[in-house]
Chain A
Amino acid sequence: MSQSAEMSSAGTNWDALSDEEFRAEVRRFVESEYPAELRNPQHRLHWEQGQAWFEKVKAKGWVAPGWPRELGGMGLSAAKQIILIEEYERHGVARLPDHGVIMLGPLLIRFGTEAQRSRFLPRILAGEDIWCQGYSEPGAGSDLASLRTEAVLDGDHYVVNGQKIWTTLATDANWIFCLVRTDKTAKKQEGISFLLIDMKTPGVTVRPIINLGLHDEFCEVFFDNVRVPRENLVGQPNKGWSMAKALLGFERIFLGSPRQSGYALGRLKNLAERMGVFDEPDFQERYTRLRLDLEDHKALYETYVAILRRGESLGPDVSMLKLHQAELFQRITEVMMDIAGENAGLLEPMGGNRDLHPSGQFIEARPTTIYGGSSEIQRGILAKNVLELPG
């Protein structure tokens, strides 16, 4: 891609297009540029697997759809971001390691210093820094605020000791943003700070964890006397919890997007046709029920998108979206398992066809009710913070 083409593309005000024009543009882009062999991969892509695609996205100026244009983003409205997600999903475009774009960028834009923004944001856009997220710990999962990785100030540095877990694609990342404990005497939510750590610093060790899909998507990250410059703290000391929470609403609408269920429902249809049960009344009843669940989910999702479109922020009720999406995705894959017969036990896709892989889809759906706040946690939020039930 020539420099001039890159410039002209990056200068475009994509948000000025009509929804239909923008949708057509996304469709053209993925159909002509997205590598066919990467459509609907079975696992999250490692950075090197997706890098060629990242370069195309970068040349187009589309790395950061939600960031403002003056910071190198596309400046898309929420509605257009949804269109982008829908078209990527329709084409089977894989998610790249995107914690820098989705989580850290918005946080720095809102809470970071000018120096932090100019240092980190361009490197995210250039693909020079790959970020991962260090929140959960072995003893702090659902009870995240009980995290114990500590950062102690020593001159101009914080000295970090502890362990993070479920760090997605940490082996690909060169930076990690962490919640760390900076005040052990305060109430547990109030002693937490948000710290950016260069993973090449001595004392940082990464260990991949093989998951149920037999893939090394998650990692453990260990910190042993890791010295982190003081300027890598984002926002005020001991205010990390409220900053991280401010991002959770966005994570929940992202996880509540109908994309996983929509994709799975298409694969369920493929499988039912292959197994010869698609026209059976029993199957049609179950299939239609799921289809209606998906349609209603999309309608609910649209109401949340509209909230964002009006520039309002999301309340705790967005938990409904994440919860329902995850459980719908699971139910769809469970019907796959039911109709697949013994094929449900195969490790690999049926006949090498990635569209026919009930066991893989079933396994992929398992952690969706665990990560990003488990269904138990989301139900608790709904009961306490939305319904205001006692206790």
Chain B
Amino acid sequence: MSAALDQAAEERAESIRMIRDSAAGLAPRGGDRKRIRALRFEAPGFDAGVLRQMGEQGWIGLRVPEERGGAGLGMSEFCAVAEELGAALAPEPLVGAALSARLLSAVGAEAPLARLLSGEALVLTAWQEAAGRLDVPGTADAPRLFIGQAGGAEAFLVPVREGDGLSLRLQPRAGADLTLEKTQDGGFFGTLRPSGGESLGTVAVAEVEDALDEAALGTAAYLLGVADQAFTVTLDYLRTRQQFGKPIGSFQALQHRAADLKIQLALTRASIESAAATLDREGSPRAARRAAVSRAKARASDTAMLVTKQSIQLHGGIGYTDEADISLYLRKTMVLFNQFGPAALHRRRFAAEAREEEA
């Protein structure tokens, strides 16, 4: 019995390793900074061809059941992919696309789902009505804010309150009232003023909330990748940059700081892996799942901000230039760390969910 369990765990670990390797293959860590820079500040802010490759790899539909055309894999696999994309600073909106895929799958919208899963036609979910929030009021005519990389979408999925549930309306990009604002990482936030659109079906509010939780955890994993790679680059700098006749990494003040950052990175990885496992475990109570996601996202947001800020400081003057790649990690963090709930929101939510679970 125990041997069978061990074998299952081993197989699972192997599957996560494989998917991580394939993500690193498409988006190598510390790899193609030229590509990242070339895509900055030019709409849509990412490469549609690369997003299509991600679709072909099955990542957009990673969480979609196999009978709906997805890969039917777990959050552990999804987080592995997201982390690698973060380490590579990939600007393609995989987390946003996966969120829409999960919702299109929930209402059985086969045609748009198939085109989204293949990476041909990006659908982004326009759910957010206020900054720094993770709830979905579904107000019919309220502007939908902070739609990441909206300039590359073919359509938007707009949740609109209908009775106890949320009706998912598909609104084509063509003719939509959409404005784009540049973000610090070179991408774009879209604001959509919803109008019309075809209702694809209605889902429970909890269904949308759970999908957003997966996006939050995916974002946490992406942030871990960003922070981990920034740390790697910074350690290299500490080993090679010479001042006062020796590598600056030989100064104890900087050694201790690096050690402190490592502790936060280790806590973040453990938190994300345990949250993913909680979501993947059948029968986990909903309060436990939500608490786990909040714990991981709060930690990842804080860690990514701490590590990327300190990476600039430890690079000194060169860290404050745009041409030094280390700045790209801070800029990415500035855009992502508050997405799908800032750390403070998640800490409050953790407290509430943990109380419920204990009750």
B184→A342 contact, CB < 8 A: no
Nearest Cβ distance between residue B28 and chain A, in whole angstroms?
A: 25
Most buried by A among B317, B336, B338: B317
B319→A370 contact, CB < 8 A: yes
A340→B189 contact, CB < 8 A: no
User: Which parts of B264-313 form the interface with A (CB within 8 Å)?
Assistant: 305, 309, 312-313
Nearest Cβ distance between residue A325 and chain B, in whole angstroms?
A: 16
Q: Which of A166, A338, A346, A347 contacts B343 (CB 8 A)?
A: A338
Interface residue? A332 (CB, 8 A): no
A211→B316 contact, CB < 8 A: no
Most buried by A among B41, B320, B337, B343: B320
Mark interface residues in A366-381 (1 if CB within 8 Å of B CB, else 0): 1101110011100110
A143→B244 contact, CB < 8 A: yes
Residues on the B chain within 8 Å of A379, using CB: 253
Nearest Cβ distance between residue B257 and chain A, in whole angstroms?
A: 9
Mark interface residues in A139-162 (1 if CB within 8 Å of B CB, else 0): 101110010000000000000000
User: Which parts of A277-325 form the interface with B (CB within 8 Å)?
Assistant: 282
Residues on the A chain within 8 Å of B181, using CB: 346-348
Nearest Cβ distance between residue B99 and chain A, in whole angstroms?
A: 15
A282 to B338, CA, bound (A): 17
Q: Which of B132, B316, B317, B321 contacts A275 (CB 8 A)?
A: B132
User: Which parts of B161-189 form the interface with A (CB within 8 Å)?
Assistant: 181-185, 189
Q: Which of A334, A338, A348 contacts B342 (CB 8 A)?
A: A338
Interface residue? B211 (CB, 8 A): no
Interface residue? A341 (CB, 8 A): yes
A221 to B333, CA, bound (A): 32
Q: How many pairs of residues, A versus B, come closer than 8 Å at their CB atoms?
A: 119
Q: Which of A218, A340, A376 contacts B338 (CB 8 A)?
A: A340
Interface residue? B323 (CB, 8 A): yes
Residues on the B chain within 8 Å of A141, using CB: 243, 316-317
Interface residue? A253 (CB, 8 A): no
Residues on the A chain within 8 Å of B243, using CB: 141-143, 146
Nearest Cβ distance between residue A349 and chain B, in whole angstroms?
A: 11
Residues on the B chain within 8 Å of A337, using CB: 305, 334, 337-338
Q: Which of B41, B130, B317, B319 contacts A165 (CB 8 A)?
A: B317
Q: Which of A166, A210, A342, A362 contacts B145 (CB 8 A)?
A: A342
B131→A341 contact, CB < 8 A: yes
Interface residue? A136 (CB, 8 A): yes
Most buried by B among A214, A338, A339, A371: A338
Residues on the B chain within 8 Å of A369, using CB: 313
A343 to B184, CA, bound (A): 10
Interface residue? A359 (CB, 8 A): yes
Residues on the B chain within 8 Å of A142, using CB: 243-244, 248, 316
A211→B320 contact, CB < 8 A: yes
Nearest Cβ distance between residue B307 and chain A, in whole angstroms?
A: 14
Interface residue? A68 (CB, 8 A): no
A338→B321 contact, CB < 8 A: no
A218→B131 contact, CB < 8 A: no
A210→B317 contact, CB < 8 A: no
A143-B243, A210-B323, A211-B322 known; A346-B184 Cβ under 8 A: yes
Which 10 residue pairs across A and B have the least CB separation, nearest first?
A341-B132, A341-B131, A345-B335, A342-B146, A143-B243, A347-B182, A210-B322, A367-B320, A345-B183, A143-B244
Given contacts A211-B322, A212-B327, A366-B330, list 5 more A-B pairs with CB under 8 A.
A146-B244, A209-B321, A209-B322, A347-B182, A376-B253
A-B residue pairs in contact (CB < 8 Å), sample of 24: A142-B243, A142-B248, A142-B316, A143-B243, A165-B317, A166-B317, A209-B321, A212-B320, A212-B322, A212-B330, A338-B342, A340-B131, A341-B130, A342-B128, A342-B145, A344-B334, A345-B338, A347-B181, A366-B313, A366-B320, A367-B317, A374-B316, A379-B253, A380-B253
